[in-house]
Homo-oligomer: A and B are copies of this chain.
Amino acid sequence: MGDSGGRRLDEIAERVGGTVVGDGALEVRGVATLEAAGEHDLAFLTNPKYRAQAERTAAGAVLVDPKTELPGRNLLVSAHPYVALAEILALFHPEAPRRPAVSSDARVAPDAVLGAEVEIGPFAVVENGASVGDRATIGAGCYVGRGARVGEDTVLMPRVVLYAGTRVGARCIVHAGVVLGADGFGFAPTPSGHRKIPQVGRVVIEDDVEIGANSAVDRGTIGDTVVGAGSKIDDLVMVAHGVRLGRDCLLVAQSGIAGSTVVGDRFTIAGQSGVSGHVRIGDDCIVAAKSAVFEDLPDRSFVGGVPAQDHRAWRRVQAVQKRLPDLRNEIRRLGERIAALEARLDEEE
């Protein structure tokens, strides 16, 4: 799958700070999966699940961590194989060159401010008072609302919508279909139905954030909804009004954070999990998949379940839970044995 010419394995190893076991002169022309790789491909093994595949791969070389042995194979050994993989992929798949230009089919308001070398695709709309930083890309069909700001080197893929006032930092990647700044879900109950509470806060996405396809971050009711620098959000994730996420958080697919919840740095929430509103999550917390957090979490919590509890305790609960019918039967038998004992004692007396 390499797009460019070959490179020697030892040259690649040097670039990524790794070492070669085997033939450093091997010409590597690309990176491929263990299954698909050929003699000039570098493949990749860190998850032991794929060891059998690695043993029979046709790959010319395999990128591994120092603990992995694959006798008879050319290895590129790296203490940080994922980082090495990132570098090697960038080497073989350089980004498509930017085409800095404003499409004549884009509609940019006269008082919008465009930085140097911006790219604005066809059918994009940039409204009054919006600003687009240097070298930023506004994909085809994007909508950048009144007063919204897009930071330098940020990429909005096609069909992203930024509501008025939304701020996106520098070097962010926002994938197609993402909506930033829609109204939060806030209504006051009245005898005649739900009355809308105006949502006048903003969405602030800090630097180096990536947001996956069709995710949504709602504007705050009064204050801002904030996604901290370096955080990465997967597809179809929902971040509600007034949430504040710390730095370097990871929100996996289809997870959600409810309104006004405050989350520390380096939070990881696995797929299809949620955190309820108005709770505080400390730093370095992890929520397992398919779980729901309803209470505050101290730093370094690792939780799972509905409601979430300590992860190890939850694993033990799950083990017992699977056997609940056995447990019920055991209780029944204990009852019978007790009844038998009671009868024996009654007889004796």
Interface set of A (CB-CB < 8 Å, partner B)? 1, 31-33, 35-36, 44, 47, 49, 80, 82-83, 85-86, 89-90, 92-93, 96, 105, 107, 121-123, 125, 139-141, 143, 146, 157-159, 161, 163-164, 173, 175-177, 179, 182-183, 185, 187-190, 193-198, 200-201, 208, 210, 212-216, 218, 221-223, 230, 232, 234-236, 238, 240, 242, 247-248, 250, 252-254, 256, 258, 271-272, 274, 276, 278, 289-290, 292, 294, 305-307, 309, 313, 316-322, 324-325, 327-328, 330-331, 334-335, 337-338, 341-342, 344-345, 348
Contacts and interface: CB of A to CB of B under 8 A. Distances in A.
B322 A321 contact: no
Given A141-B141, A194-B248, A238-B254, 12 more contacts: A80-B188, A157-B163, A161-B177, A176-B182, A182-B212, A238-B271, A272-B274, A274-B289, A289-B294, A290-B306, A306-B318, A321-B321
Nearest to A325: B316
Nearest to A234: B185
Given A80-B188, A185-B253, A176 B258 contact: no
12 contacts: A89-B221, A92-B200, A158-B161, A176-B179, A182-B212, A182-B235, A194-B250, A252-B258, A254-B274, A256-B271, A271-B274, A334-B334
A196 B189 CA distance: 42
Counting chain B CB atoms within 10 Å of each CB, which of A47, A194, A208, A321 scores highest? Answer: A321
Contact of A331 (B198, B242, B327): B327
Nearest to A198: B89
Those 4 A-B pairs whose CB atoms lie nearest each other, nearest first? A82-B188, A179-B213, A182-B213, A161-B176
A188 B90 CA distance: 13
